[in-house]
Structure 1
Amino acid sequence: MLNLERLRTLDALARHGSVSAAADGLHVTTSAVSQQMAKLEREVGQRLLAKNGRGVRLTDAGQLLADHAARILSQVELAQSDIEAQRGQVVGEVRLGAFPTAARGLFPAAVAALRGAHPDLRVRTRELEPELGLRAVIRGDLDLAVVLDWSNKRLPVPGGLTHAQLLDDVPDVAMPAGHPLAGRDEVDLEEFADDEWVSWPEGEFCHDWLVFTLRSKGFEPKIAHLAGEHHTQLALIAAGLGVCVTPRLGRGPVPEGVAFVPVRQRMRRHVYAAWRMDADRRPSIRAAVDALRAAAGSQR
């Protein structure tokens, strides 16, 4: 009889690609992963791993069993969902991820509401950029991720996931209070062609969106500063070091010397929750989505 936890370890190795990454994903030590794999190899009587430089790779037998393990674990998830749905109680653990401004703007109210309404539900949260959040849900490291895309640049939802809209977030252009455009009711992005920009770090979805959007307006942006935290971006703006696009969700306290002006051609960040289809009937998922929607409603 194949051991389910050992199959889970093999599945993590197949998804993460290394022993150390699998250990991180499973929240165990690397030696625990190696021990589980050694036991699984003895159970099946075949080598499942082979050395590959400093790391390991799955053998043909390992890949075959990993494919079965993924299907088995998906069926286990479905069974758990059906049992929870039949019981109708919101219990157990739910793991949530969100990009930083959603974590700041939605999680405090949503998690507090879940704790109050469902004291037997353990809620775990973490910050993750949108693409990483979706990958974590697909891998099974998260139960639900709050992610985003923009009205002019979509983030595809991978197969096997379902999603629910939470809110549309309207960003503004943040600029020093002394900027010539600071007193305007609305602005066009083209009017900032000569300004230096503060952006999210390179490689992040929102950085790619910003460059794509500004280029579509007919100019190459002068990106002078990169910062992942909106508070850091606004501190740079307050010091007179550029302009940036700043969402309203999770904005929080604003330093003195910063002005916000809406964009005439309204931009939108579509914020939504995504989870695995095979977990769709879990009451804990439904409760988390309801709590996030309620928290999002208070942002409007």
Structure 2
Amino acid sequence: MLELSRLRALHAVAMHGSISAAAIALGYTPSAVSQQIAKLERETRTTLLERQGRGVVLTDAAQQLAATAQQLLALVEQAETALEERRGQPTGRLVIGAFASAARGLMPSALAELARSHPTLDARLVELDPHLTPDLVARGVIDMAITHDWDISPLPAPDGVERAVIGDDPSDVLVPAGHPLAGHAVLHRSELADQRWICQPPGSVCHDWLVRTLRASGHEPDLAYQVAEYQTQIALVAAGLGIALVPRLGRSAVPEGVCAIPLEPAPVRRLYALWRPGAARRPAITETVRVLRDHWPLRH
């Protein structure tokens, strides 16, 4: 008889594209995932993974088995949801995917409350790109996701996913203390032209917002430093190298020599929790959404 844990490992490799990524999603080591696949190959007497360069690819037989595994895992989720709903208490495993600043600024206190209040709930966190998580939720790779959108780029609602608003995260302009803008109580978008910018790389919503906003005012932005991590951007601002637009969530206190100035109208990203409709009755889902909202740190 095929073991569900081994089918789950194969399904994760199929969904994530590699053993290492599957291990992160499952909370295992890569060697543990490899061992599960090897056992499944022996049980089925079938080659499931083939080496290709530094990675692996699924054989045709593995693709077929992974599709069956997805159906079985969906049935297991339905059964677990029904049992959890009957008990009326959050229980079982709940894998949550969150982007970096949400993982840092929101999840620690929320996860601590869930662990303290619901010891039978095994809530787990995986840091993921917010653009990937809606599809991962829809396909059943993770149970819930924390993602976001901006005013210029609303989050599309993919088929098979429900969502709830967690909170709004405004952004400030960070400038060196000696900068000509440092004395302003509020900045307006017309004042942002002709500045040397520190921003995220192309493809990020923050980068796109900055480019669109400055071009709309007739100015081509000078994007001198393009780095993904906000903490690195803040360090570059502190060094006097430029100014940056940084969301408040997950942002540590600005260091000495840096000023955070509100922008009017304020660019805001909105955070959502996503889950599959089939899991909506799970007390684990409803309780986690409640706790995330209660622990939202940016109250006005």
The residue correspondences of 1:135-174 to structure 2 (distance < 5 A) are 135-138=135-138, 140-174=140-174
Cα deviation, residue 234, structure 1: 2.0
Q: In 2 relative to 1, CA 40–299 (structure 1 residues): closer, same or farther, beyond 3 Å?
A: farther
Q: In 2 relative to 1, CA 117–190 (structure 1 residues): closer, same or farther, beyond 3 Å?
A: same
After superposition, give the CA deviation of every residue in 1:27-56 in whole Å (9 maximum; x if it has no partner).
Answer: 2425314413413533xxx66556656655
After superposition, give the CA deviation of every residue in 1:123-167 in whole Å (9 maximum; x if it has no partner).
Answer: 333433312443543454532221111011123243222111011
TM-score normalised according to structure 1 size: 0.85
AA in 2 matched with 1:238: A
CA–CA distance in structure 2, aligned partners of residues 37 and 98 of structure 1: 30
AA in 2 matched with 1:107: M
Query: Any idea what SS the aligned residue of 1:235 has?
Result: helix
CA–CA distance in structure 2, aligned partners of residues 162 and 150 of structure 1: 18
User: Matched residues, percent identical?
Assistant: 47
CA–CA distance in structure 1, aligned partners of residues 251 and 268 of structure 2: 15
The residue correspondences of 1:89-238 to structure 2 (distance < 5 A) are 89-138=89-138, 140-238=140-238
The residue correspondences of 1:1-300 to structure 2 (distance < 5 A) are 1-26=1-26, 27-28=28-29, 29=31, 31-42=34-45, 56-138=56-138, 140-296=140-296, 299-300=299-300
After superposition, give the CA deviation of every residue in 1:9-68 in whole Å (9 maximum; x if it has no partner).
Answer: 3322322234454455442425314413413533xxx66556656655444444333323
After superposition, give the CA deviation of every residue in 1:221-266 in whole Å (9 maximum; x if it has no partner).
Answer: 2122233333332232222211111222233311122223222223
Aligned pair count? Answer: 297
CA–CA distance in structure 2, aligned partners of residues 155 and 198 of structure 1: 25
CA contact (8 A) 2:138 2:159 kept: no
CA–CA distance in structure 1, aligned partners of residues 81 and 196 of structure 2: 50
CA–CA distance in structure 2, aligned partners of residues 112 and 20 of structure 1: 27
AA in 1 matched with 2:5: E
After superposition, give the CA deviation of every residue in 1:108-137 in whole Å (9 maximum; x if it has no partner).
Answer: 332232233223333333433312443543
Gaps of 5+ in 2: none
Q: In 2 relative to 1, CA 93–24 (structure 1 residues): closer, same or farther, beyond 3 Å?
A: closer
Query: Any idea what SS the aligned residue of 1:145 has?
Result: strand
CA–CA distance in structure 2, aligned partners of residues 183 and 125 of structure 1: 40
CA–CA distance in structure 2, aligned partners of residues 128 and 20 of structure 1: 14
AA in 1 matched with 2:151: S
CA contact (8 A) 2:94 2:123 kept: yes
CA–CA distance in structure 1, aligned partners of residues 201 and 182 of structure 2: 25
CA–CA distance in structure 1, aligned partners of residues 51 and 232 of structure 2: 44
CA–CA distance in structure 2, aligned partners of residues 103 and 272 of structure 1: 13
CA–CA distance in structure 2, aligned partners of residues 62 and 20 of structure 1: 18
CA–CA distance in structure 1, aligned partners of residues 259 and 54 of structure 2: 52
CA–CA distance in structure 2, aligned partners of residues 261 and 236 of structure 1: 17
Query: Any idea what SS the aligned residue of 1:170 has?
Result: strand
Query: Any idea what SS the aligned residue of 2:264 has?
Result: coil
AA in 1 matched with 2:146: V
Aligned Cα root-mean-square deviation (Å): 2.8
Cα deviation, residue 173, structure 1: 1.3
CA contact (8 A) 1:129 1:204 kept: no
After superposition, give the CA deviation of every residue in 1:141-197 in whole Å (9 maximum; x if it has no partner).
Answer: 532221111011123243222111011122121112232233334323342221111
Gaps of 5+ in 1: none
Cα deviation, residue 199, structure 1: 1.1
CA contact (8 A) 2:173 2:261 kept: yes
CA–CA distance in structure 1, aligned partners of residues 109 and 25 of structure 2: 27
